[in-house]
Structure 1
Amino acid sequence: MADGYNLALLPGDGIGVEVIAQARRVLEAVARLDGLDLAFDEIPGGARYFLEHGSDWPQDAAGRCAAADAILLGAIGWPSPDGRGTALRPDGKMAGWSAVVGNRIGLDLYANIRPVRLLPGVRHYVSGRHRQIWRPSDVDMVFIRENTEDLYSGAGGILAPGGDAQVAVDTRIITRRASERVLRLAFETASRPDHARKGTPRRVTCVVKDNILYGCRLFVRIFEEIGEQYPHIEREVVLVDAFTQWLVRRPEHYDVVVAPNMFGDIITELACALQGGVGMSAGCNVGERHGMFEPVHGSAPRHAGTDRANPMAAVLAAGEALRWLGARRGDERAAAGGDRIEAAVRAVLRRGRTLTYDLVGAQRASSTSAVGTAIIEALGDEAPCDEALCD
């Protein structure tokens, strides 16, 4: 049982600042309710910080992240001063890179885990209209993406003779070590006693392009080797282009989905649509010793400061952080706090009265802070789910 937890907060840019503020409010309320000792270390940084200071974050920020029990990240990214795309550092990396990719590599956060669940009461925009396409029971899966290599390894560059850019090279790196870790995690996740879904077999789907790419062929070879050690888990290999249509046509088929970094990045963004958009999607970057949790949306500069962004993904990410800490430390109170947060989000969705524009449209929309308050008020709500909405 842990005595207390130090959480590093990286609000970052744009709406990241607003949604992390609400996530912190919810965490503080849960700490009061469940007797958790939570301390917060808020670290400035991001693209705007770089434009003002010439560095991604303060000099001691990396050490503070490493010392934290968990990290909660908002969003990184801001337009460049000349208006041509996103702000970049002189080395070509995005401004604020250290907080995102730098932490993933420096803290060896080798797996990006995204639970994709359609929560009751969430509706979707299709052709500009809110429609309920999937039942909550149809969308309940976990995406596990390799998080440190592939095209994100930084191997490559631009050849510019005479200062005129002529050739750009991005080298894709797939290693056995990184592949083995993330693939084993996928099978272990599918094997967990608490993972079983009613009416759905335990299954791991490997998404690749192994008919063309050598790195994917190695990834599949390791997938099959490890899969043989889990005979009770079904396994399948699917080409990434085919997977995109099957994911939308039959989401109920998928249980655990695993992929290399780049393909995983793309398909998890598509999966967000199944759960109501990026405002509902939380990402977990985890390794052997460290964890960083985040809403998967961007900084949305045009919405910054308007108090209209959906904070639910950030709040759900905070809940995932508590559950991760609870599992690592054998702390039932922390794990229960994470469960309490998700239950509160579900309660607010079920009531349908206090939701942001992305879920109910501009005319009925509530503010970011109002949604945060509604979640806090629902933290003690133990009302059962309305069956008509749950399925």
Structure 2
Amino acid sequence: MARYNIATIEGDGIGPEVAQSTITVLKEALGSDTLHFEMLDGGADHYQKSGEVLPEDTFTACRDMHAILHGAAGMPGITYPDGTEVGNDLHLRLRFRLDLYANMRPIKLLKGVRSPLRDHDGGSIDYVIVRENTEGLYASRGGGIVMRDEVATDTLVMTRKGIERVARFSYELARQRNGALRDGKPRVTICDKANILRSYAYFRAVCNEVGVNYPDVETDYAYADAMTVHQIKRPDFYDVIVTENMFGDIISDLGAATVGGMGVSPSAELGDNHGLFQGAHGSAPDIAGQDLASPVATLLSACLMLNWLSTCHNDPQLAQAAGRIEAAVNTVLEKGEVVPTDLGGTARCSAFTKAVCEAMV
């Protein structure tokens, strides 16, 4: 039986709780021998103690192991001299140093979760946002200029290589899915501001060049401002949405709100050789250490990790385990007896973890 080494950074706030919950469920699904979790330092608290948000030995382990599982990072008041948050820098450094260029954010309404959209019940929203993860406006992080305390500039960066590979990832993903819920058509929606800025017109043009090679996948377009309306009015039309880094950050949070919030929103940051998996939520320091955190987002991120590892290593047992975990999460939420606090229930993290383990078949 194959064995996989998982670089595990619990991080800050609720990070240790949701990470430990996920490890418990993964061991229940696969036994104790398939996955080995190497616990590593990193995050805002570690920075405050050591001056390092991502120690070099942690980075080396993340680079050399099969996958990275992360809890959460960031703490209020722990910032760099320029005012930017330390915690976010943990996964940003991993993102850029490991070239994790595709940030995959599934937007899926689980059974038993109430959407704020009145016409949508469990299973009626299911699309994926693919956010270009290493370029765009966020490529300027740490490189912006503030002149004489009067003028500040950051530069939006797009390259042909960066756009081509995230577009190709998105079209390939659309081929693997079952199409949009509304009509069953595999579809890639290019989200941009091509009507205003040349950089986004270039993004669209290069995506179109890639799309020509996928005649079986429909290509659609939406301006970023209009997309925020479409995600509310017709979420079932979408299958895969590909967009620039900052726009992806914004619309993926909006999408999460339509399916229950950040606490149920998983993410996978993927490159050609590495993958980082974490819930899309923050570290929620106000509830840290109280057993109140919801582990749902991290559990679902672990499912993405198992599916990715299954594909990379041609190991179907991992995909089967991912399916069992996701089904168990749905079962527990649909029964409505053990519901996390962020979804209106009273269940503690430990209780939800136990319920998921018991629901697995």
Which TM-score band applies after superposition, normalised by the shorter structure?
over 0.9
Give the Å deviation of 1:53. 1.5
Of the candidates 92, 97, 106, which is equivalent to residue 101 of structure 1?
A: 92
Q: What's 1:384 paired with?
A: none
Residue of 290, 303, 323 corresponding to 1:319: 303
Matched residue pairs, number?
359
Aligned counterparts of 2:333 and 2:305: Cα–Cα separation in 1: 21
- Three-state SS of the structure 2 residue aligned to 1:348 is helix
CA distance in 2, matches of 1:374, 1:132: 28
* Alpha-carbon distance in structure 1 between the residues aligned to 2:325 and 2:346: 22
> Paired residue for 2:35, among 25, 35, 38?
38
Do the aligned residues in 1 keep the contact of 2:18 with 2:349 (CA within 8 Å)?
yes
- Determine helix, strand or coil for the equivalent of 1:65: helix
Counterpart CA distance in 2 for 1:133 and 1:11 is 37
SS of 1:195's equivalent in the other structure is coil
Return closer, same or farther for 1:112/1:351 CA change in 2, 3 Å cut-off.
same
Distance in 2 (CA, whole Å) between partners of 1:159 and 1:368 is 44
TM-score of the two chains, using structure 2 as the length reference? 0.95
1:136 Cα deviation from its structure 2 partner: 3.0
Return the alpha-carbon distance in structure 1 between the equivalents of residues 321 and 305 of structure 2: 10
Does the aligned pair in 2 maintain the 1:46–1:96 contact within 8 Å? yes
Q: Deviations over 1:302-354 (max 9, x none)?
A: 11112111111111111110111001110011111111110110111121111
Instruction: Give 1:249's aligned residue.
Output: 233
CA contact (8 A) 1:9 1:71 kept: yes
Alpha-carbon distance in structure 2 between the residues aligned to 1:37 and 1:4: 5
* Residue aligning to 2:155: 171
Q: Distance in 1 between matches of 2:38 and 2:7?
A: 5
**Rg larger in 1 or in 2?**
1
Contact 2:180–2:237 at 8 Å: present in 1 too?
no
The one-letter code sitting in structure 1 at the alignment partner of 2:36 is A
- Distance in 2 (CA, whole Å) between partners of 1:73 and 1:188 is 26
Paired with 1:203 and 1:321, the residues of 2 have a C-alpha distance of: 24
Shift of 1:301: 1.4
Give the CA deviation at 1:132: 5.2
Cα deviation 1:158-189 (Å, max 9, x = unaligned): 4354xxx2221111101110000000111111
Give the distance between the partners of 1:328 and 1:55, measured in 2 at CA. 31
Q: Give me the whole-angstrom Cα distance separating, in 2, the residues matched to 1:59 and 1:302.
A: 30
How far, CA to CA, are the matches of 1:368 and 1:346 in structure 2? Answer: 16
The answer (yes or no) to whether the contact 2:132–2:166 under 8 Å persists in 1 is yes
Give how far 1:227 is off.
1.4
- Give me the TM-score of the superposition, normalised by structure 1: 0.88
Q: Which residue identity does 2:178 align to in structure 1?
A: H
Partner of 2:169: 185
1:142 to 111, 118, 128: 128
Cα 1:351/1:54, change in 2 over 3 Å:
same
Counterpart residue number, 2:20: 21
Match of 1:74 in 2: 71
Distance 1:117 1:7 in 2: 26
Alignment of 1:82-121 (within 5 A): 87-90=78-81, 93-121=84-112
Deviates more, 1:41-50 or 1:171-180: 41-50
Show the counterpart of 1:64. 61
User: 1:1-391, aligned counterparts within 5 Å?
Assistant: 3-32=2-31, 37-80=34-77, 87-90=78-81, 93-124=84-115, 126=116, 133-154=119-140, 156-161=143-148, 165-192=149-176, 194-196=177-179, 199-360=183-344, 364-380=345-361
Shift of 1:28: 1.3
Distance 1:197 1:204, change over 3 A: closer
SS of 1:152's equivalent in the other structure is helix
Mapped contact 1:206–1:236 kept (Cα < 8 A): yes
- Report the CA distance between 1:196 and its aligned residue: 3.7
Moved more, 100-109 or 90-99: 90-99
Cα distance between partner residues in 2 of 1:134 and 1:345: 19
**Distance in 2, Cα, partners of 1:257 & 1:195:** 14
8 Å CA contact 1:144, 1:256 repeated in 2 = yes
**How far apart are the structure 2 equivalents of 1:189 and 1:45?**
31
Contact 1:204/1:234, CA 8 A, preserved across alignment: yes
Given that 1:13 and 1:48 are in contact with CA atoms closer than 8 Å, whether structure 2 keeps it comes out as yes
Letter in 2 for 1:353: E
Which portions of structure 1, spanning 4 or more consecutive aligned residues, are displaced by more than 6 angstroms?
A: none
Structure 1 residue 91: deviation in Å?
Answer: 6.2
2:357 corresponds to which letter in structure 1? Answer: I
Distance in 2 (CA, whole Å) between partners of 1:31 and 1:44 is: 25
Q: Is the partner of 2:92 in helix, strand or coil? A: helix
